[in-house]
Chains A and B, each alone.
Chain A
Amino acid sequence: MHWYLGRIGQYALVLLAALSLNFLLPRAMPGSPLRFLAGEDVGMLAPAQVAEIRARYGLDQSLGAQYVTYLRNMATGQWGFSYQLGKPVLAAIRDRLPWTLLLVGSSLLVATLFGIFVGALAAWRRGRGLDTASLTGAIVVDSLPTFWLGMILVAVFAVELRWLPIYGAYTPWGPRSGLPYLLDVLRHLALPATTLTLASLSGTFLVMRYAMLDTLGQDYIRTARSKGLPERQVLVKHAVRNALLPVSTVVFLNLGFLIGGATVIETVFSYPGVGTLLFQAVLNRDYPVLQGAFFILTVSVILANVIADLVYPILDPRVRGSGS
């Protein structure tokens, strides 16, 4: 119980610090959101009109006053109105979050399953062809720049071969329900998800392989083997199950990072996720959206940490025993 309290306190601290930075960093940026508030022809406004706009959006208050307002608003769910999108920040994020979750979730799922499977197999066949090949593959894939790989995939599969669409999450004029819509979404998902999967593949694989090797060296595996249990059963029932422990932690930690990290991939594929929303908000100095998106990202990282903390004791009886 005490352990949980400590963790909660720690996350609260991280949250507050991140919130404060969220507030300060956008305001430290050079450049002004005025153009995005008053339209492109802001230069034609008289200074009095500019002042009126600043006042309407609270930009004329002191930083301290703006900070207090900001904290209160974040706490009460009033995340403000986007300067640029003509809608509340929460609505903008709600529109985008499902796409990011779809992209990140599917990539993480494939990467995790694949990583666990190949990692277990590689450890089992340690030192042989498959092990060496997958290790080499993991390290080589790890060395590729993500955005570069994404660009090449677009050039080859979308532009030259025309197998898959180039941008977006679905065809705007296409079907909007049923199986055709699902297929359309999957076709749009294929390239960005492949890129992101490759990006997160090696982490799970390496941890799984390492954990498997560790487990396979343990006494109880030897005992099981000496009892004459079939190799497959030893492997699946004992070794894999125990090796999954450290992997689960890595998976949830990866999740948090992936949500933010998908930004580059979403940019390459013009995928309408939180990442592109955030990047555009940064370019446009759309403070409310920027803060909202920042906040969501911070929360998701913390959430992933919390889940990892919660899942670990469930999976590992030893921790559960000492924790309660």
Chain B
Amino acid sequence: MSTSGVVVPSTAAGFTHPRRRRDGTVGAVLFGTSSSTIGTVLLAVIVFVAIFGTSISPYDPRDVVARPYLAPSAAHWLGTNDIGQDIFSEILWGTRVSLLIGLIAATAAIVVGTLVGVVASLAGGLVDQVLMRFTDVVLTLPFLPLAIVLAAFLGPSLWNTALVIALVIWARPARVVRSQGLSICSRTYVEAAHALGGGFFHVLRLHVVPGVIPLALSQFILATSGAILTEASLAFLGLGDPIQKSWGTILYYAQARGAFLNGTWPWWVLPPGFLISATVLGFALVGRSLESVLMPRLRQH
């Protein structure tokens, strides 16, 4: 669960893996255990909806197609919202926006975080000090006001929401990647490579990058689910872009336009929330599976 700003340490305490059915790495990650299979299926469905949702939706969710506040019916599976738009269609379209914001934010955050982490661990000394102190500052900053300032300053839009999220979540991957980088650098063969006159980029390319990539990948997956949750929280506080139909903005309008007052919340508020959870869950399950497959040290648990 994401209370904005609360970052529960993503430790490697994943599910146990008593029986691995597949040996191929990708297969093991996606279908190695029952939990990863659930995660994969969830993600597959969500991605399918994100890609084809706009074609399979019964209505254009921007059009006013019926009276406001209708209860679910054959014509409108999840009823209509406060201005008579079809909620089911809104949710289908919103899937793409929510997922996109999550992916864009996570990509940006991981790229920056990995770069900072790798550079800090490799360069060491002053560079490391400066980068890590800066990372600490970002980690210490109160998340919400930072987000509102940036959102208000940049103006709400899909890209800006993603940017705001990326700016507040890149620091943690940077720290994680740095410690991984440090542990790689301290290994004897890297030290040997250094001693043998291997240059900075040589060590980077041959040892550090391959060692860090799996970690960055699993951090990316966790960051995506975090970003999707954060987008929903921001939108709920009225800090997202209410013009873009995402799961978060559907919830914002539901709350702001009386879903909890006139009893429409069971079909207006519950479905977007469940979808957010399902997506986050899918990412979390696959991410943990990836972690335990790629990092053998953790496999013992």
Contacts and interface: CB of A to CB of B under 8 A. Distances in A.
Given a CB threshold of 8 Å, the question of whether A touches B is answered with yes
Interface of A: 10, 13-14, 17-18, 21, 25-26, 28-31, 126-127, 131-132, 135-136, 139-149, 151-152, 154-155, 159, 196, 198-200, 202-203, 206-207, 209-210, 213-214, 217, 250, 253-254, 257-258, 260-265, 267, 278-279, 282, 290, 294, 297-298, 301-302
Given A145-B273, A149-B1, A294 B260 contact: no
A258 B1 contact: no
A263 B273 contact: no
B13 A210 contact: yes
B148 A14 contact: no
B1 A146 contact: yes
A263 B1 contact: no
Given A148-B232, A260-B142, A140 B6 contact: no
A30 B12 contact: no
A258 B1 CA distance: 12
Contacts of B1: 141-146, 149, 198-199, 202
Nearest to B255: A151
A282 B148 CA distance: 8
Contacts of B56: none
Given A145-B276, A200-B6, 15 more contacts: A14-B136, A14-B137, A132-B15, A147-B233, A151-B265, A154-B260, A155-B265, A159-B260, A200-B8, A202-B8, A210-B12, A254-B6, A261-B5, A278-B142, A302-B140
A13 B133 contact: yes
A282 B260 contact: no
A262 B260 CA distance: 22
Contacts of A279: 144, 237
A143 B225 contact: yes
Q: Is the interface of A mostly helix, strand, loop or mixed?
A: helix
A97 to B, nearest CB: 15
Interface in B98-147: 133, 136-137, 140-146
A199 B2 CA distance: 7
B64 to A, nearest CB: 26
Contacts of A26: 145, 149
Contact of A17 (B35, B137, B232): B137
A298 B106 CA distance: 25
Contact of B145 (A25, A127, A210, A264): A25
A155 B137 CA distance: 38
Contacts of B153: 28-30
A145 B229 contact: yes
Contacts of A135: 15
Contacts of B136: 10, 13-14
A296 to B, nearest CB: 9
Q: Is the interface of B mostly helix, strand, loop or mixed?
A: helix
Q: Ordered nearest first, which 6 A-B pairs have the shortest CB separation?
A: A203-B8, A261-B3, A210-B13, A143-B280, A261-B6, A143-B281
A213 B233 CA distance: 34
10 contacts: A13-B137, A144-B1, A144-B277, A155-B265, A196-B3, A203-B8, A254-B6, A261-B143, A279-B237, A298-B141
A210 B11 contact: yes
Given A18-B140, A209-B13, A28 B149 contact: yes
B249 to A, nearest CB: 13
B269 interface: yes
Contacts of A28: 149, 153
Contacts of B65: none
Contacts of B149: 25-26, 28-29, 282
A261 B4 contact: yes
B163 interface: no
Contacts of B8: 142, 200, 202-203, 206, 254
Contacts of A260: 5, 142-144
Nearest to B16: A127
A96 B153 CA distance: 28
A103 B150 CA distance: 28
B97 to A, nearest CB: 16
Nearest to A107: B3
Contacts of A17: 133, 137
Contacts of A159: 260
A57 to B, nearest CB: 20
B197 interface: no
Contacts of A199: 1-3, 6
B46 interface: no
Of A25, A139, A147, most buried by chain B (CB within 10 Å of CB) is A147
Nearest to A290: B145
Contacts of A144: 1, 273, 276-277
B251 A257 contact: no
A201 B224 CA distance: 21
Given A17-B137, A152-B273, A213 B301 contact: yes
B152 interface: yes
A199 B144 CA distance: 17
Interface in B213-263: 225, 229, 232-233, 236-237, 251, 255, 260
Nearest to B18: A127
